[in-house]
Amino acid sequence: MHLDVSRLEQWEIVFSHAQTRGLFLHFKTQEAENQGLLDGGETGPQRKLYYRELIARFGHHLALNWNMGEEIGPWQEKPPMPPQLTPQRLAMAEYFYQHDPYHHHVVIHNGMKFDDILGPKAQYTGSYTVQWFDPRNGGSLVDGTVRKVNAGSSVSIGPAPNPTSSDWVALVTRVGFEAE
């Protein structure tokens, strides 16, 4: 694995500026297309080096989360590479929990339902992106996320977590304009 130190230093300039402007940093560590690239999807030497470098260089920022992957897991019929299974996805979050001294939120955008990565030993602490809210078909809430909110509108994604003293993180991803 090769990490270009000069590029990482350039990213630090960008991230530092973003923080001064009040922006939250969302680090996506991988995509469905490369989830098996490092160590065949395991949290082995290559992945640990990559994660250690991310944490060491950027973990000092105040407002950030670590996203273990975009649309990862065994959900595609013909995945571009072998998908990460439940133990592999749990191991990634555990690594960040053990090595990030600031314990930033660790999130995942599963390509499927996320029941397999929940539980008392799971180190995922933030939002789980699952399915959608469809106001055009009766407005029913489907698995807790919002698909579309028009400008100037608001939408509830359900009751606050129990107990109410628990932290609750909600992230908005893929914000943009949809052609009608």
- d(CA 180, CA 177) in angstroms, rounded, equals 9
Same structural domain for residues 11 and 31? yes
Q: What is the pLDDT of residue 125?
A: 76
Q: What is the pLDDT of residue 153?
A: 57
Range of the domain at 144: 131-180
Same structural domain for residues 110 and 147? no
How many structural domains is the chain composed of?
Answer: 2
Same structural domain for residues 120 and 135? no
Between residues 131 and 3, which one has the greater pLDDT? Answer: 3
Q: Tokens 């065994």 appear where? A: 74
Same structural domain for residues 81 and 53? yes
Same structural domain for residues 103 and 155? no
Same structural domain for residues 118 and 137? no
Q: What is the pLDDT of residues 69-117, one digit of tens each?
A: 988 888 888 888 889 999 999 999 999 999 999 999 888 877 776 777 8
- d(CA 125, CA 128) in angstroms, rounded, equals 9
Does the CA dihedral 74-120-90-15 come out positive or negative? positive
**Residue 46 CB: number of other CB atoms within 10 A?**
14
| pLDDT band at 46; cut points 50, 70, 90 | very high
Same structural domain for residues 87 and 166? no
Same structural domain for residues 106 and 94? yes
Q: Do the Cβ atoms of 77 and 39 come closer than 8 Å?
A: no
Q: What is the pLDDT of residue 79?
A: 85
Q: What is the reported pTM?
A: 0.74
Between residues 112 and 38, which one has the greater pLDDT? Answer: 38
